Amino acid sequence: MTDTGTDAKQGSYVTAGSEFTRDTDYITTRITATGAGQDEYPVEADRYRLVVARACPWANRAVIVRRLLGLESVISMGMCGPTHDERSWTFDLDPDGVDPVLGIPRLQDAYFARFPDYPRGITVPAMVDVPTGAVVTNDYRQMTLDFSTEWTAHHRDGAPDLYPEALREEIDEVARRNYTEVNNGVYRCGFAGSQESYDAAYDRLFTRLDWLSDRLRDRRYLVGDTITQADVFLFTTLARFDAVYHGHFKCNRSKLSEMPVLWAYARDLFQTPGFGDTTDFVQIRQHYYIVHSDINPTQIVPKGPDLANWWTAHHREQLGGRPFGDGTPPPPPVQAERVPADHAAPQG
């Protein structure tokens, strides 16, 4: 089976007897500082729109990085709803179901504006060129790295260095292993088409989570003493673990809240501006339990788990580290981009 897990693509996610394989053939066009390379667009303020869905962990990464770096004033953001049909993510949260900047009801319209016969899944996040209405890239990993390295002229004062040059090799290696075993590993569990493939994915997932617990036992962050892209990449999976992956994807050896080190690490990040305030638990549950009807045919969305414990003390500051290095926390999100209070973890 080949699919992206959070794209809009006709057909079942689970194929009996097969192992889940993610389609990683993304649009590799980049937006760079000069735009001088082949198949590159130039960095320009107010030219591009980042289209996301809060439910999607890959899109959530881009939302967090954009906010930490202060790119809200130069890259606008369009938000799709938590569910999609077999054709496309849709702008059903907007008045009349149309994105107010791009003027389209479906994200597929931006893909087709550049590739009329685009054959693959319509994925978020996607950067769209507003003047032409055409998608530029949906390569979520490179997109967030480019936010750090190519958009520096537009970073806010006090923006953290999420991808420090001296640590990039280690960040890339840690993030690569986390992707194969954890970020994508939960999907390989959930969309496994055989007992054998599920068992293998399950064992690989929890072996890596145990490794991460050991690594983070005496260090606050994954690489170095500040938040990096590696932490952002891992956080969006951990934030969904108890709400979705533990039950819906059968990743049920332990809840995140039963893994003390990872649970404290996740709470530390969640309570850091830019992380928890971009996490919409209602949309997360709606997406997985409604869209994946082959796993959850009733499409009943669970009410739990209780979210208040995300705000309990984590004591990770005792390990040292400086979340933003020499930088500063981002300001509160603008009103239009705030997660509704009834979709967020309640503070005591």
Q: Is 48 a catalytic residue?
A: no
Q: Is 189 a catalytic residue?
A: no
Output the six-digit token pair for 133.
């209405």
Considering the candidates 26, 48, 56, 163, report the single residue annotated as catalytic.
56
Give the full edge-to-edge strand order of the sheet including 48-53: 76-80, 48-53, 126-129, 134-137
Q: Helix/strand/coil (H, E, C) string of the chain?
A: CEECCCCECCCCCCCCCCCCEECCCCCCCEEECCCCCCCEEECCCCCEEEEEECCCHHHHHHHHHHHHHCHHHCCEEEEECCCECCCCEECCCCHHHCCCCCCCCECHHHHHHHCCCCCCCECCCEEEECCCCEEEECCHHHHHHHHHHCCHHHCCCCCCCCCCHHHHHHHHHHHHHHHHHHHCHHHHHHCCCCHHHHHHHHHHHHHHHHHHHHHHCCCCCCCCCCCCHHHHHHHHHHCCHHHHHCCCCCCCCCCHHHCHHHHHHHHHHHCCCCCHHHCCHHHHHHHHHHHCCCCCCCCCCCCCCCCHHHHCCCCHHHHCCCCCCCCCCCCCCCHHHCCCHHHCCCCC
Cα-based distances in Å from 69 to 100, 157, 327:
24, 9, 10
Work out the end-to-end distance of the chain between its first and last CA atoms, rounded to an integer number of angstroms: 44
Considering the candidates 13, 140, 163, 187, report the single residue annotated as catalytic.
187
CA 248 to chain centroid, in Å, comes to: 18
Is 211 annotated among the ligand-binding residues? no
Output the six-digit token pair for 184.
């994508």
Active site residues: 56, 187
| Binding site as annotated, residues | 89
